[in-house]
Structure 1
Amino acid sequence: MLRPFSALIALAALAVPALAQAQAYQCRAPQVSSVPQVSPNSRPRQMPVTGYTMALSWSPEFCKPRQDSRSHKVQCSGDNGRFGFVVHGLWPQGANGRWPQWCQARQVLTPREVRRNMCMMPSASLIARQWAKHGGCMTRRPETYFKVTRILWDSLRIPDYDRISREDDLTAGRIRKAFADANPGWSAAQVGVKLNERGWLQEIRLCYGARFRPTRCDDRRYGARDGVRAKIWRGL
């Protein structure tokens, strides 16, 4: 389990530096004095990890009904910066469309580690939940889980989805192809697009193999078919 993580960390110096972080416009990480408590909402499931999914949430759409929410103040109020894509989570995948979850974590997440990741995942509750539900099934230390997540995040180029949102006849296929075209080594088949029930972009889901190489998404992660009409909320 730890070997792919170690290899990725060793190669981090070769990654394209801090490209995706430009999506967190002038982010200011808040002080964090405690770690939110997280209670499992389903049963633990331990199984071999066969790959990973990185879910990127489109913040303008998420924040549209939450601008005045106290629980989402960091991400949605504008006081800590404006966000485009943010990391929802890095999730382990298993065989037959299943995934490990809620494995017993051996080390405790600290407020310092929460704050370190707030410009990538601008919610202390989200950070705590991702470690509790997913990270503990992948590695022993929360620092390792979030370091690997940051390495993957920093290696990405985010297309100008503000401009793309203004195109006529926008489709899910155009959204995924734009991402693949901006990131050498990726193909459209390796990029999932999740639209909400009204057709607005909600998430992009990037599919990785067991050694963190892009791999073809299965149907569940691929999401909306290429020809499905799509919209992107710009938050303005």
Structure 2
Amino acid sequence: MMLKRTAAVGLLLALAACEGAPPTTLPVTGTEVASSCVLPDTLPAPHMATVRPDEVVADRPIRFHMLAVTWMPETCKAGGDGQGDLACGGENRFGWTLHGLWPNSDGRPYPRYCRPATRVSDATIRANLCRTPSVDLVQHEWAAHGTCGWETPEAYFEQAAVLYDNLKRPDPTTLASNGDRGPTAGQIRDAFVAANPGLPRDAIFIAVASGNRLREVRICHDLQFRAATCHNGGLGAPDPVVLTVEPVAG
């Protein structure tokens, strides 16, 4: 069942301005670890993935949403993983980036590829690359997740942008645990709560890579897109776990 979304006027203006835009330098809103985002003159066409029938999960009820925010230096260290085409190995220096906004159910399997996806327009891709610095990932997020709750790519990315831009994202490299150790998962949760009054601590899921390396912070939201307790069976890394945080390159 499609949910009605409210358009974000600012993003609509950005879409109009980016149509046929030349190389652009835009501020990266809300992050303390990246000051600019340089977009190329032309963009490649997004990859249109072939979806296998067993990947389609279109009949699960949506109980809540997750806003997935990636610590891009870790993704780049691991080779990019298709998420950082414009963030890894170039002049851009990203800290936090937007992975996506994910409809979730009350357990696996999660809603995915709910209907055949249209190609995301060049203007919409360009308008979102300073949040999600990969053409293919923008297309993928619409196909895999946006089709499960929004009528159009524009409505989906508008909703994701509102949540992401309003989330204050503390720089985890400034947090310390004991001595030279990195921050604990609990310290990162506390930093997000302190930066975002009203954010429930149990709405913060911390995903790690091998070796307890910080990979993502995921904020759970209810069906009205208010930050709310996660209902997916846990919060990821427990508070006492000491994390390794890859620094921003350069």
Shorter-chain TM range is 0.7 to 0.9
The 1:153/1:70 distance shift into structure 2, 3 A limit, reads closer
For the 8 Å contact 2:72–2:84, the answer to whether it is kept is no
Q: Which residue of 2 aligns with 1:20?
A: 30
Using the alignment, how far apart are the partners of 1:85 and 1:115 within structure 2? Answer: 18
The 1:23/1:111 distance shift into structure 2, 3 A limit, reads farther
For the 8 Å contact 2:106–2:231, the answer to whether it is kept is no
Using the alignment, how far apart are the partners of 2:233 and 2:90 within structure 1? Answer: 33
Using the alignment, how far apart are the partners of 1:59 and 1:167 within structure 2? Answer: 24
The 1:73/1:174 distance shift into structure 2, 3 A limit, reads same
Q: Cα distance, 1:165 vs. partner?
A: 5.2
Using the alignment, how far apart are the partners of 1:204 and 1:71 within structure 2? Answer: 15
Q: Cα distance, 1:99 vs. partner?
A: 2.1
Q: Cα distance, 1:131 vs. partner?
A: 0.5
Q: Give matches, 1:131-142, under 5 Å.
A: 131-142=142-153
Please give the secondary structure, in 2, of the residue aligned with 1:230: coil
Q: Which residue of 2 aligns with 1:15?
A: none
Using the alignment, how far apart are the partners of 2:83 and 2:229 within structure 1? Answer: 35
1:114 matched to 2:125: yes
Q: 2:128 corresponds to which letter in structure 1?
A: N
Q: Give matches, 1:27-176, under 5 Å.
A: 27-30=37-40, 31-40=42-51, 42-46=54-58, 47-66=60-79, 72-79=84-91, 81-105=92-116, 107-164=118-175, 168=179, 169=181, 170-176=183-189
Unaligned runs of 5+ in 1: 13-17
Q: Cα distance, 1:103 vs. partner?
A: 1.2
For the 8 Å contact 2:185–2:241, the answer to whether it is kept is yes
Please give the secondary structure, in 2, of the residue aligned with 1:202: strand
Unaligned runs of 5+ in 2: 12-27
* TM-score where L is the length of structure 1: 0.85
Q: Share of identical aligned residues, percent?
A: 29
**Greater than 6 Å deviation, 4+ residue runs:** none
The 1:144/1:24 distance shift into structure 2, 3 A limit, reads farther
The 1:211/1:78 distance shift into structure 2, 3 A limit, reads same
Q: Cα distance, 1:95 vs. partner?
A: 2.6
Q: Which residue of 2 aligns with 1:213?
A: 226
Q: Cα distance, 1:51 vs. partner?
A: 1.2
The 1:198/1:70 distance shift into structure 2, 3 A limit, reads closer
Q: Cα distance, 1:111 vs. partner?
A: 1.7
Q: Give aligned pairs, total.
A: 227
For the 8 Å contact 1:60–1:235, the answer to whether it is kept is yes
* TM-score where L is the length of structure 2: 0.81
Q: Cα distance, 1:87 vs. partner?
A: 0.8
Deviation sequence 1:164-204 (CA, Å, 0-9, x none): 15764521111111111111110221101111121110000
Deviation sequence 1:128-163 (CA, Å, 0-9, x none): 111111001111100000011111111011113221
1:191 matched to 2:193: no
Q: 2:39 corresponds to which letter in structure 1?
A: A
